[in-house]
Amino acid sequence: MGMLNAIGLQNPGVDKVVDEILPGLDFEETRFIANVCGSTIEDYAAVTRRFDDSPIDAIEINISCPNIKEGGVSFGNYPEMSAKVVAACRSATSKPIIAKLSPNQTDIQENARLCIEAGADGFAVINTVMGMAIDVEARQPIIGNVRGGLSGPAIKPIALLKVHQVHEIAKVHNVPIIGQGGIVTAEDALEFIIAGATTVGIGTALFYDPLACRKINDGIAQYLARHEIPSIAALVGSLQL
């Protein structure tokens, strides 16, 4: 039903990405979004500023990282702290900013509202749900970091609710949402779009089905044709309450 991992956010660093990796990408083929993380607000701003002087199309701010200056609490679990990160990144770039919202918080709508005020142009909803696993024979955590991020089909109902809740705030400001969390089939993707997502993100499903995106796109096209709906845009946020 999903994947529990604590692999971290290892990467070669923003300088290597901008100087060595981006020049080898075909920017005529698709859009590229950089994911920015950091341990302090200053880190986020510095990495964002470096990507501002690059050909990428947008910047996703991963605000679920721990704030080392505040005892390791996650930026994304507190609306005011999330907004400070977005504001710092907004001052460092003119590129579109996508705030990746955590489900591990009390009020995701308030977080979304403050992030919009701070300059977010879009949202990725949601990040992983925190969980753990135990080896009963050794009576030790299976995950080296004790806790890890749960993704995949198990979190889809949680992600769907969060997309619906954020859409209630985002639609007022015409802010788009990337819906993600457990999408495997076209029906899964359609649920997120109807709940308010403008587009969707696929993650865990690709580990066991590299062609999942093609199948999902085909399924969505068939649904639109069957219901005589002219476009995805006509389906976004069409949930009947």
Q: How many domains does the chain have?
A: 1
pTM: 0.93
The β-bridge relationship of strands 66-67 and 73-74 is: antiparallel
Residue 133 lies inside a defined structural domain of this protein = no
d(CA 158, CA 195): 12
At 70 the pLDDT is 60
Q: State the pLDDT confidence band at 145, using cuts at 50, 70 and 90.
A: confident
Domain that holds residue 217: 7-128+155-234
Helices and strands in the chain: count of H runs, count of E runs: 8, 13
Cβ atoms within 10 A of the Cβ of 112, count?
A: 27
Which residues are registered as beta bridge partners of 5?
Answer: 149
Which residues are registered as beta bridge partners of 101?
Answer: 125
Query: Could you confirm whether 65 is annotated as catalytic?
Result: yes
Residue 205 lies inside a defined structural domain of this protein = yes
Residue 223 lies inside a defined structural domain of this protein = yes
Which of the given ranges, 34-38, 71-75, 225-229, has the highest pLDDT on average?
225-229
Average pLDDT over residues 173-194: 98
For residue 180, what is the domain's CATH number?
A: 3.20.20.70
Q: State the pLDDT confidence band at 156, using cuts at 50, 70 and 90.
A: very high
Residue 142 lies inside a defined structural domain of this protein = no
In terms of DSSP H, where are the helices of the chain?
14-16, 41-52, 79-90, 108-118, 156-170, 186-195, 205-208, 212-226
Q: What is the pLDDT of residues 68-127, one digit of tens each?
A: 566 546 788 889 999 999 999 999 999 999 999 999 888 999 999 999 999 999 999 999
Residue 139 lies inside a defined structural domain of this protein = no
Residue 121 lies inside a defined structural domain of this protein = yes
Residue 149 lies inside a defined structural domain of this protein = no
Of 65, 89, 115, 213, which is the active-site residue?
A: 65
